[in-house]
Homo-oligomer: A and B are copies of this chain.
Amino acid sequence: MALVLDAAAQALLFREARTANTFTDEPVADEQIEAIYDLVKYGPTSSNQSPLRITLVRSPEARERLVRRMAEPNRAKTAGAPLVAILSTDNEFHEELHKLVPHFPQVKDLLYAERPTREASAVLNGALQAAYFIIGIRAAGLAAGPMSGFDAAGVQKEFLDDDHTPLMVVNIGRPGPDAWFPRAPRLDVGEVITTV
Contact = CB atoms under 8 A, between A and B. Distances in A.
Interface of A: 2-6, 8-10, 12-15, 17, 19, 29-44, 46, 48, 50, 52-59, 62, 96, 99-103, 121, 123-125, 127-132, 134-135, 138-141, 144, 146, 148-149, 159, 167-168, 181, 183-187, 189, 191-196
A3 B13 CA distance: 12
A57 B42 CA distance: 27
Contacts of A57: 196
A168 B185 CA distance: 25
Contacts of A101: 184
A50 B187 contact: yes
A64 to B, nearest CB: 12
A127 to B, nearest CB: 3
A183 B100 CA distance: 10
Contacts of A138: 5
Given A57-B196, A146-B44, A196-B159, A186 B131 contact: no
Contact of A139 (B5, B55, B121, B128): B5
B41 A187 contact: yes
29 contacts: A3-B141, A4-B12, A4-B140, A4-B141, A5-B9, A5-B139, A13-B135, A14-B42, A14-B43, A14-B132, A17-B42, A30-B195, A37-B192, A37-B193, A43-B131, A44-B144, A55-B193, A55-B194, A56-B194, A56-B195, A96-B191, A103-B181, A121-B148, A124-B127, A124-B148, A124-B168, A128-B128, A130-B131, A159-B196
